[in-house]
A and B are shown apart, each in its own frame.
Chain A
Amino acid sequence: MSLLSNSTKRGSVLIVGGGIGGMQAALDLADSGFKVHMVQRDPSIGGTMVMLDKTFPTGDCAMCMISPKMVEAGRHLNIDVHTLAEVISVEGDAGDFRVKVKVAPRFVDADKCTGCGDCEVKCPKKVPSNFDQKLGQRKAIYSLFPQAVPNTRAIDSSQCICLNDPDKKRCRLCEKACKAGAINYEDKGKEIELNVGSIILSPGLELYDARVRQELGLGRWQNVVSSIQFERILSASGPYKGVVQRPSDQKHPVKVAWIQCVGSRDNRNANPWCSSVCCMYATKQSIIAKEHDKNIEPTIFFMEMRAFGKDFDKYVERAKNEYGVRYQRAMVSAIREEPGTGNLFMKYAAEDGSLMTEKFDMVVLSVGFQPHCDAEAFAKTFGIETTPYLFPKTSPFAPVRTSREGVFVTGIYQGPKDIPETVMQGSSVAGSVMALLAEARGTETIEKELPPEKDVAGEAPRIGVFVCHCGTNISSTVNIDEVVAAVKDQPGVTYVTNTIYACAQDNQDMIKQTIKEQNLNRVVIASCTPRTHEKLFQETIREAGLNKYLFDLADIREQCSWCHKGQNEVATKKAIGIVKMSVAKSRLQEPLKSETVGVTPECLIIGGGIAGMTAALSLADQGFPVHIVEKDSELGGLVKGVYRTLEGLDVQEFLKDRIEAVKEHPGITVHTGAEVKQTDGFVGNFKTLLTDGSAVEHGAVILATGGIEYQPTEYLYGQSPNVLTQRQLEKRIAEGENPKAGERYIMVQCVGSREEPNQYCSRVCCQDAVKNAIAVKQLNPEAEVMIIYRDIRTYGLREDFYKQARDLGVIFIRYDVDRKPEVAQSGNKVTVRTWDYMLNRELSLEADWLVLSTGLRPHPTTDQVGAMYKVTRNPDGYFLEAHVKLRPVDFPSEGLFVAGLGHAPKNIDETVTQALAASGRAGVVLSHKRLAVSGIIAKHKRELCMSCLSCLRVCPFGSPYIAEDGKISHNEIKCMGCGICAGICPAKAFQVNNFRDDQILAMIDAAVESEPGVLN
């Protein structure tokens, strides 16, 4: 094999694990010039997220969000997905690894299989479905889930009747059923060799097996289920079709209990770490369960409510106040089934120690995560070091790097984390790889070859309509056959059909095939919302040779079946109306040209803290010149006041290294003491003027504006010499002022956090308190430390330090927000009075030092910078990302990214992660020579224009301008297609493509026609 460039590095990457994190990394890398090989153990990519019903806080259906990504990864030209595959050996070094992959036999030929599923129907062997957590069944030939990618079915060799017959003569029904001749019982699998420059490990974790804790009764009492089983119960495509019912008797449960920390935070029976996500998923499940069935009364039994993420506390408050979810602090000791009824008696110790017994109809165990059972061998295969818990060894300063150069780690395998953090880390590892393999970018990728666009100008419309069942999501409410029949005779419609999942790969192929066979020149798909699926379908029709704007999506799910459940007749009528409106619009659609613009391959980063510097170094290593603008006279940001990480690493040393690296890097220009004065432009082509007089042209911008610490006004801060903040205590310790024997430190948590008007968790303060408490105790065991807290949120692997603090004798006392501690000066000490919920009485404690754990706030400039770049902020002032789950570093406007405290409170490792993610996302933009601009823009007819300047005044993007002849012209590159100009223009000189007045009027007509009784 010959190398295309002189580089000794390979331009390809191996990603082990095809969950949401692996997919994000794959898409970022493949979209920016790297060839990706994805190795996945399961027969489909998707990982854990595909099993989930919905995600919080938006309640978006998990499958709906991940399915377009899977399809994109599955059909990406530069991503090769190897399913049923495992890596068996790795040789070589960073830049040039040789990897052997063992692919297990699938017994179905992917090249021949159409994914029709006839084989599955005929297969006589039913086995419990692992995907449905054994609550449902699948066949011996199966696809993991309906939207599986690839959609080629696989035969489970341990279950197949034929494969278990020595002569392979029995059954063979799937072979007979398969019209494509894709079944191959002789498949032996294969071994392949890959040459890659870098390796990304994203294998995910496995769930704790709660059967180990026999007293909780999983596997013994039928109505005790694990949280992942409950997720399947909630799922509309799950074993109970989304009806919340008990496994024992299919009765609808009323009292449902969740038990937290099953398998987590438990040194004796399970894993010592906190799994980070269970508090929130239990809250979500209780809300969703209640939405499915309003009679359900959820109770969550928990030790500590760890709602530490962005807007998580608000979600928990909503669960309590709007949904009536009961949160009970307790230790559950045992569950017993009531004989004959299937009901469950739960014994628990309430906070004050009293023993309670309560009856429930159903119990959900919130199980945690742990490394795969073969984690040790896995690490050995890749030659990486692990922690004693078998997580890969990483540093908070380089969270995605393993001990072996060129091998990176991402997602939940790196440490327990939720979906947005996994996605973020996916981009972050992509950014790291882009920097490592910069010179090999583009050496192994191929360009997509699209068929030429069919010229449809002058042709009469030949519209094809595809009506989607969405499993049963639409078809259980809307009568699909009636919709198909009603649309058939609409003018311009030449073909109508139905489809089970329009978004699944096989149906996409079917749509392409139909376009060709029926010679369609317009396509309408009636399925779900254009907000999530329009792009996917547009690409599909483009691949079939149609201009992508000859497409319309009629939403009959979000705006019909889902909100008119049980009203099948009217919902069907409405769906017919919606589809007819789409058809009316489609009839008037014209092919649109998409312009492309050049990209200035430079990046501007606002903020010179850890986030800004990390992103800058990564991008500069990728080969893109970077400008950092820092308001202060020196780099460093908030971290200047931090001395140690929780793990004990030297932050100041790290900061010094970073600053030096930034200053020395030839690709980075630093503008200290400067701010953004003025900015203009759009993705690929920004122009920004700085207050130091320099003008920067750049293709992308990263907002890393950082945060500040809350300056407390409560608890005698500023009035008493005994009152400090955690940061001040940390400084004292760093400067060698050691705690004295007998000295008492009392720390108060959540100062300025988790109460109105700052109803959010600042995330870092619990760890700061634990870190300083440990430091005090280690420096002088004779000193006394007490932490007065609301919930100790040492999530993930940080839980170890909480335990260490307790082992060192740090005393933890809980308080409630409506019974906050009271502080008074008494001589040269302060007295703290607080209620002790365990003893059920008030305590009065004297302290030498009262240490306040103060929260974080966004930097005051966030407001101004946000306004300048027209990005929105949440009610707390933090930047609002494009999507809380799947786009955690993007803004809705392209080319703008966010990193660090400006996005939400976070730790150093998380800031580094997000900064690398921003560099990965920006790298995708900057690696393109040209970018395509949307065709949905306003078109300006100069001959109609009177140059009244109305449009100039109202356009939020500055696209209309006064041309040299003194009349209005329109810069289509800047136009975002909002149509404000079209609305205000008195001469009707502006029309927005695909939202033209004639199209809207046609939709209005269709809306009226579809209404019987209205005569025209």
Chain B
Amino acid sequence: MADVAEAAEQILVSTVEAPHDTPADWTPNVLAFACHYCAFAAADLAGVMRLSYSPSVKIIRLPCTGKLDHIHILSAFEKGVDGVFAAG
């Protein structure tokens, strides 16, 4: 995926975050906002197909990603979530 490759590049040159050590007990905590009809259904399908993927992702179901609000994303980061994605 192009956007991931791009992002990877971004990470290398990123000056946004101060360098830090990663504690040994840390595991990524990722929240996904998923549209009920698209991404949530796709996640269902991934399960039905028994596709194995990272257990670090937890889903919050939305009726539609159009419902997604800034406040949801910001609040997630504020609480210490490591990453957020929306899928619809």
Query: CB atoms of A and B under 8 A apart anywhere in the complex?
Result: yes
A59 to B41, CA, bound (A): 13
In the complex, which residues of chain B have a beta carbon less than 8 angstroms from the beta carbon of A1001? 71-72, 75
A936 to B29, CA, bound (A): 29
A584, chain B: closest CB distance, angstroms? 11
* Interface flag for A729 (CB, 8 Å): no
* Interface flag for B45 (CB, 8 Å): yes
* Interface flag for A529 (CB, 8 Å): yes
* Interface flag for B19 (CB, 8 Å): no
In the complex, which residues of chain A have a beta carbon less than 8 angstroms from the beta carbon of B46? 558, 563
Knowing A559-B43, A565-B52 touch, does A997 contact B71 (C-beta < 8 A)?
Answer: yes
**Which of B29, B44, B52: most chain A Cβ within 10 A?**
B44
A995 to B50, CA, bound (A): 28
In the complex, which residues of chain B have a beta carbon less than 8 angstroms from the beta carbon of A983? 66-69
B47, chain A: closest CB distance, angstroms? 3
B87, chain A: closest CB distance, angstroms? 13
Binary per-residue interface labels of chain B (30-61) against chain A in the complex, 1 for a CB within 8 Å, 0 otherwise: 01000011001101111111111101001111
Assess whether B79 is in contact with A978, with CB atoms less than 8 Å apart: no
Binary per-residue interface labels of chain B (1-40) against chain A in the complex, 1 for a CB within 8 Å, 0 otherwise: 0000000000000000000000101110101000011001
* Interface flag for A977 (CB, 8 Å): yes
Task: State which of A291, A557, A977, A995 has its C-beta within 8 Å of the C-beta of B49.
Answer: A291
In the complex, which residues of chain B have a beta carbon less than 8 angstroms from the beta carbon of A59? 45, 48-49
Task: State which of A562, A577, A984, A1014 has its C-beta within 8 Å of the C-beta of B48.
Answer: A562
B80, chain A: closest CB distance, angstroms? 5
Assess whether A577 is in contact with B58, with CB atoms less than 8 Å apart: yes
Assess whether B60 is in contact with A1000, with CB atoms less than 8 Å apart: yes
A60 to B68, CA, bound (A): 29
A571 to B56, CA, bound (A): 9
In the complex, which residues of chain A have a beta carbon less than 8 angstroms from the beta carbon of B40? 531
A1016 to B78, CA, bound (A): 10
Assess whether A1013 is in contact with B25, with CB atoms less than 8 Å apart: yes
Assess whether B81 is in contact with A1008, with CB atoms less than 8 Å apart: yes
Assess whether A563 is in contact with B75, with CB atoms less than 8 Å apart: no
* Interface flag for B63 (CB, 8 Å): yes
A937 to B27, CA, bound (A): 37
Task: State which of A558, A978, A1004 has its C-beta within 8 Å of the C-beta of B63.
Answer: A978
Assess whether A978 is in contact with B64, with CB atoms less than 8 Å apart: yes
B39, chain A: closest CB distance, angstroms? 11
* Interface flag for A178 (CB, 8 Å): no
Taking CB as reference atom, which chain A residue is nearest B52?
A: A563
In the complex, which residues of chain B have a beta carbon less than 8 angstroms from the beta carbon of A567? 55
* Interface flag for A407 (CB, 8 Å): no
Assess whether A980 is in contact with B58, with CB atoms less than 8 Å apart: no
A1001 to B50, CA, bound (A): 30
Assess whether A979 is in contact with B63, with CB atoms less than 8 Å apart: yes
Assess whether B47 is in contact with A562, with CB atoms less than 8 Å apart: yes
Assess whether A61 is in contact with B48, with CB atoms less than 8 Å apart: yes
In the complex, which residues of chain A have a beta carbon less than 8 angstroms from the beta carbon of B53? 563-564
A54 to B47, CA, bound (A): 13
* Interface flag for A850 (CB, 8 Å): no
A978 to B50, CA, bound (A): 29
A531 to B64, CA, bound (A): 14
B72, chain A: closest CB distance, angstroms? 5
Taking CB as reference atom, which chain A residue is nearest B47?
A: A558
Assess whether A558 is in contact with B48, with CB atoms less than 8 Å apart: yes
In the complex, which residues of chain B have a beta carbon less than 8 angstroms from the beta carbon of A1011? 27, 29
**Which of A578, A978, A997: most chain B Cβ within 10 A?**
A978
Taking CB as reference atom, which chain A residue is nearest B67?
A: A979
19 chain-A/chain-B pairs, Cβ below 8 angstroms: A58-B45, A59-B48, A59-B49, A291-B49, A530-B61, A531-B41, A555-B44, A559-B59, A563-B47, A563-B55, A577-B58, A979-B62, A983-B66, A984-B66, A1004-B60, A1008-B81, A1011-B27, A1012-B25, A1014-B80
Q: Which residues of B contact A (CB under 8 A)?
A: 23, 25-27, 29, 31, 36-37, 40-41, 43-53, 55, 58-64, 66-69, 71-72, 75-76, 79-81
Nearest 6 pairs of A and B residues by beta carbon: A979-B67, A558-B47, A980-B66, A562-B47, A978-B64, A1008-B79
Q: Which residues of A contact B (CB under 8 A)?
A: 54, 58-61, 291-292, 529-531, 555, 557-560, 562-567, 570-571, 573-574, 577-578, 581, 892, 936, 954, 976-980, 982-984, 992, 995, 997, 1000-1001, 1003-1005, 1007-1008, 1011-1016
Known pairs A61-B48, A564-B53, A976-B63; list 19 more (Cβ under 8 Å).
A291-B50, A292-B50, A531-B41, A555-B59, A559-B44, A560-B55, A562-B47, A563-B46, A565-B50, A566-B52, A571-B55, A979-B64, A992-B63, A995-B63, A997-B69, A1004-B31, A1004-B60, A1007-B60, A1013-B26
